Amino acid sequence: MSEIIAKAPQGHIEVRNFSLSYDSIEGPVQAVTDTQIHVQPGEFVSIVGPSGCGKSTLLNAVAGFLKPTTGMVTVDGEKVNGPSAERGMVFQQYSLFPWKTVRENVEFGLKMRGMPRSQRERAARTLLGLAGLEAFEKHYPEKLSGGMKQRVGIVRALATGPKVLLLDEPFGALDAQTRVIMQQILTNMWQRLKISVLFVTHDIDEAIFLSDRVYCMTARPGSIKAEIPIPLERPRQQSMMMSSEFLALRRGLMSLIREESIKAMGGELTDMGMQGLNIELHGHSLADVI
């Protein structure tokens, strides 16, 4: 493993005075404004926020697909100037190449780096083995389940040994059980690789369970409303989600997001409606409600 992915403690993401607006016919649409975030080397950081608040925008700017309108994004002090293999990305939509087998998908980044065929085959096999996918190396993505596709997507993004891994609601399309398994797999890989992770999600439980720190964004135009450290010890078990510590964090985050979701919906909800929401939310994630 360590010879495939050489790791020094690096992958320090820094987003400073960041804002981004899209051009549209009605004038510029301010998606994200006045945002500062950072991810320390090896840290797992999540971004949660109401729908349409600019989470994907922020992540795409870190990936290098979008240029900030003001401010800048740096990784290890270097300005981000376009996509690169240093920043691996996993998308919400399935993004495996349908014309490549599972193993060829994983090999792609290594091929781009000019690694000889036999070497990259071996590397891809090792990585697929770690994700429990070796039996599927010759399958085409079409034949895989959603969870497997995203697992291959994560493995593919990690194969080139990026400094940071960016994930945009990668488990959004998966059912609850698969989601839990994927969270475990992601945690395991992250701990093995000591890589920095920036993770976007709708799901508060997911954010708390996975992260060292959670940023909570305001409704559009998005900015950072709060930064919540998650001091839960690792390794984390599914059973922790019932602990009082977890539930307290959850309540805190939930109320922060609720305020913003109401703003995002135009503040139309009455107090009565809110009482209803409050009850509903027990045992459900915010994503189920909004």
Partner 1 sequence: MPAANAIGEAGSVPATLPATPTFGTLALRWYRLNRGGLRATAVGIVSLLAFLLVWHLLTTYRVVFFVRFTNVPSPLAVYASFTKAIHDPKFLMHIVLSCRRILVGFSLAAIVGVPLGLIMGRFKLVHEIIFPVAEVLRPIPAIAWVPMAIMLWPTNEQSIVFITFLGSFFPILINTLHGMSLVDPVLVRAAQCLGARERSIFRDVYFPASLPHIFTGLTVGMGVAWVSLIAAEMISGQYGIGYFTWEAYSLVQYADIALGMIAIGVLGLGSSMLIRGAGQLVMPWRSR
Ligand X SMILES: Nc1ncnc2c1ncn2[C@@H]1O[C@H](COP(=O)(O)OP(=O)(O)OP(=O)(O)O)[C@@H](O)[C@H]1O
Residue closer to partner 1, measured from CB, 63 or 193: 63
Q: Residue 147 and residue 152: Cα distance in Å, rounded? A: 9
For 177-222, the DSSP string reads HHHHHHHHHHHHHHHHHT-EEEEE-S-HHHHHHH-SEEEEEPSSSB
For 141-182, the DSSP string reads GGGS-HHHHHHHHHHHHHHT--SEEEEESTTTTS-HHHHHHH
Instruction: State which of positions 1-40 bind ligand X (CB under 6 A).
Output: 22, 24, 29, 31
Contact 60, 66 (CB under 8 A): yes
Does position 25 interact with partner 1 (CB under 8 A)? The reply is: no
Residue closer to partner 1, measured from CB, 66 or 207: 66
Segment lying near partner 1 (by CB under 8 A), choices 2-10, 76-84, 218-226, 235-243: 76-84
Contact residue for partner 1 among 88, 147, 170, 222 (CB under 8 A): 88
Taking CB atoms, the residue at the shortest distance from ligand X is 56
Contact residue for partner 1 among 157, 182, 185, 286 (CB under 8 A): 157
Contact 68, 54 (CB under 8 A): no
Residue closer to partner 1, measured from CB, 111 or 263: 111
Residue closer to partner 1, measured from CB, 121 or 212: 121
Does position 5 interact with partner 1 (CB under 8 A)? The reply is: no
Instruction: Give least dist CB 256 to ligand X, A.
Output: 15
Does position 79 interact with partner 1 (CB under 8 A)? The reply is: no
Does position 213 interact with ligand X (CB under 6 A)? The reply is: no
Instruction: Give least dist CB 264 to partner 1, A.
Output: 25
Q: Which long-range contacts (CB under 8 A, 24 or more apart) does 258-265 make?
A: 258/286, 260/49, 260/50, 260/53, 260/216, 260/217, 260/218, 260/219, 260/225, 261/50, 261/51, 261/219, 261/286, 261/290, 263/50, 263/218, 263/219, 264/50, 264/51, 264/52, 264/53, 264/219, 264/220, 265/290
User: Mask of contacts with ligand X, 51-90, x by CB under 6 A?
Assistant: xxxxxxx---------------------------------
Q: Residue 48 and residue 123: Cα distance in Å, rounded? A: 34
Does position 201 interact with Mg ion (CB under 5 A)? The reply is: no
Which residues in this chain contact ligand X in the complex, by CB under 6 A? 22, 24, 29, 31, 49, 51-57, 220
Which residues in this chain contact partner 1 in the complex, by CB under 8 A? 63, 65, 82-85, 87-89, 91, 93, 95-101, 108-109, 112-113, 140, 142, 156-157, 160
